[in-house]
Chain A
Amino acid sequence: MATQAQAAAPGGLKQHFSNWRLALVIAIVAIPGSVFLFPLETAFWVSFGAVILVTATVVTRAWGRRPGPLLVAPALATLLVMNIFPLLWSLGLSFFHFRANRLSPPRFAGLNYFEKVISDPNVWDRLQTTAIVVVLTVGIQLIVGFLLALMFEREFPGRRILLMLVLTPMMLSFVAVGAFFRYYYEPTFGLLSQAVRLVTGEPYILLASPEGAIAGIVFADAWMWSPFVMLLVLAGLVSVPKYLYEAAEIDRASWWRRFRTITLPYIRGLLLLALLFRTIEAFKLFDVVFLITEGGPGTSTETIAVYLYRVSFQYFKTAESSALAYILIFIVIVLTNLYLYFVQQREKEEEAPA
């Protein structure tokens, strides 16, 4: 490693290629410049080239130096090109008048689209729908997951097999879950409708009413992800030292007192993590809605993700969708930050001696 670094040092050419600061300056000048000067396609390629240049110089710079940067360079380069650049590109687009299905060159729009999105009652309506779905599904997941965890906390014969059954829904694809709940909710031969008919004599169309449609989506999503909460809670329950329960037994503590003073403190942190993680995930809810209700009836189950899909890929209001996307990105970044903060908090507690 050291010999490589020495060999690289005198070579002026290498020094030149690894000048990533220069590349960055070029990129910063070239990208907005090309957007103003050229048609969109050309501008895109210029910008893409600039990003490749920055990536290449960063990788070159990492080469032959300490192993750290070298090891992470390929991964960072891939993410830079495939994730970060597109995201920045769309951030840029949100400041322009632009529709992906038109050829007219983008015109500068400033904060126009952000204002538009924020003042759009549709957006607020969809956010409200999303909030309702998130609160319901995460709430149910926490309760059901918690109860399942209490059931699986104990050791009993066949536990592993039964655990497998309960954990399976989580690993199924959204499409499969969506497709089959649609099958179960089907008005004529669906299981739900037929079960209701046994009682009322009438077929039951769950997805016809807004409340029913939301219930249908929440049920499918909560069914799929309650095992996730169960896994986390189970991890918390397992981490409780057994001798604490023994001491509580000898101290003749009631079930409730034992739960409150021993169990709950150990799973509180993980419950919070489960809550945050599931909130982030439920916030993205798209596939299940798309497959079960397609947002209907009307727009009553259109979550923000489905709405965004419609705005960007059905109405092709690209700039507007980019602005809306950035509002979502902001929310998710805040939640993710919070989540990781609590993850680290918990790791610190685990490391500290009891």
Chain B
Amino acid sequence: MRRQIGRAGWGWTGFSAVVSFIYFFPVLWIVLTAFKAHTDALAIPPKWIFTPTLENFVSVFARAYIKGQTAVDTNFDVYFFNSIFIAGSSVLIALIIGTLAAYGFSRYPLKGNNTYLFIILTTRMLPPIVVIIPIFLMFRVSGLSGTYLGVILLYTAFNLPFTIWMMKSFFDELSPEVEDAARLDGSNGYRVFFRVCMPQVKAGLAATAVFGLILTWNEFLFALLLTGVETRTVPVAMAQTIGGDIGVRWGLLAAIETLFLIPVVVVVYVLQNHLLRGVTFGTIRR
């Protein structure tokens, strides 16, 4: 049967599957490594078939592994908690004030609305290293450095531009007629916002939250310079594991990344339609 324009059959699926799996291979190998014992991870030649072990996953959470005669505390349970706590709180705060602001920018444009939005986006586009220099000084002087409060505040500011642009793009898509109708029916501003607008952008809100969580979770430089021993996040701890003088525990790193891979893959699958908007900070919708 002839091929229809824009449609392809199983043959194309086969071809695409091969390409996709080659592309995905580095991730796949990480996952395999996560299930390898330390000696298997360093094997020459690389082992395709091995006895899977959960040892690496255990050492992520069991706090310790044995190195020679001494138990070394991985502390990764603390870092996981930190990452989740910091990302969660800052995304939540950013979501609340960012959504309000996005609604304001979308429905009640200020004088110079676009200039505000441009400046807001620019703070997000700047290289983190540029932004961090003064913040580092500010935190040192104010004593916020290394505290949860400081880090959460910082990540709130980090998430805000993204949240505002994302949510504004969702609000811009709503038909204003529905809100006008609600106003004519006697709803006040709060009712219009909470009862009419918010239910329509629920999916957008969820997408924004999830992207914010991933971006915050992945962030490295701010965390490297501004978290202390107590507030260290997973990426920093991973980087330090690599830099350590003891042999790098590749299996452990792989296990950590594999643990985080699952939510990422689920998100990519579920939010496929919002992905473009997410990775362009809400500047491109379609």
Interface residue A207 (Cβ < 8 Å from any Cβ of B): no
B255 nearest CB across to chain A (Å)? 12
A191 to B32, CA, bound (A): 13
A309 to B257, CA, bound (A): 26
Q: Which of B6, B217, B261, B268 contacts A245 (CB 8 A)?
A: B6
Q: Is the CB of B97 within 8 A of A75?
A: yes
Q: Is the CB of A71 within 8 A of B101?
A: yes
A235 to B284, CA, bound (A): 10
**Cβ of A345: which chain B residues have Cβ within 8 Å of it?**
none
CB-contacts of A302-348 with B (<8 A): 305, 308-309, 312-313, 318, 321-322, 325, 328-329, 332-333, 335-337, 339-340, 343, 346
Q: Is the CB of B135 within 8 A of A167?
A: no
A155 to B71, CA, bound (A): 54
Write the residues of chain B forming the contact surface with A, with a CB cutoff of 8 angstroms.
Answer: 5-10, 12-13, 15-17, 19-21, 23-24, 26-27, 29-30, 33, 41-46, 97-98, 100-101, 103-105, 107-110, 116, 118-123, 125-131, 133-138, 140-142, 153-154, 156-157, 160-161, 164, 189, 214, 217-218, 220-221, 225, 235-236, 238-239, 242, 248, 250, 253-254, 257, 260-261, 264-265, 267-269, 272, 275-276, 279-280, 283-284, 286
Q: A82-B135, A169-B27 are in contact. List 11 more A-B contacts (CB 8 A).
A: A154-B7, A156-B8, A168-B264, A173-B218, A173-B260, A174-B235, A180-B253, A231-B275, A309-B221, A325-B130, A328-B130
CB-contacts of A230-254 with B (<8 A): 231-232, 235, 238-239, 242, 245-246, 249
B57 nearest CB across to chain A (Å)? 16
Q: Is the CB of A79 within 8 A of B123?
A: yes
Interface pick from A5-13, A14-22, A83-91, A131-139: A83-91
**Cβ of A85: which chain B residues have Cβ within 8 Å of it?**
138
Q: A162-B17, A169-B27, A235-B284 are in contact. Are A76 and B116 (CB under 8 A)?
A: yes
**Cβ of A318: which chain B residues have Cβ within 8 Å of it?**
133, 137
Q: Is the CB of A325 within 8 A of B239?
A: no
A333 to B116, CA, bound (A): 14
Q: Tell me the interface secondary structure of chain A in the complex.
A: helix
A153 to B12, CA, bound (A): 11
Write the residues of chain A forming the contact surface with B, with a CB cutoff of 8 angstroms.
Answer: 1, 40-41, 44-45, 48, 66-72, 74-76, 78-79, 81-87, 89-90, 93, 100, 148, 151-176, 178-184, 188-189, 191, 194, 223, 228, 231-232, 235, 238-239, 242, 245-246, 249, 270, 273, 277, 280, 283-284, 286-287, 290-291, 305, 308-309, 312-313, 318, 321-322, 325, 328-329, 332-333, 335-337, 339-340, 343, 346, 350
**Cβ of B15: which chain A residues have Cβ within 8 Å of it?**
151
**A/B pair count, beta carbons within 8 Å:** 298
Q: A86-B134, A280-B125, A305-B127 are in contact. Are A176 and B108 (CB under 8 A)?
A: no
**Cβ of A329: which chain B residues have Cβ within 8 Å of it?**
126, 130
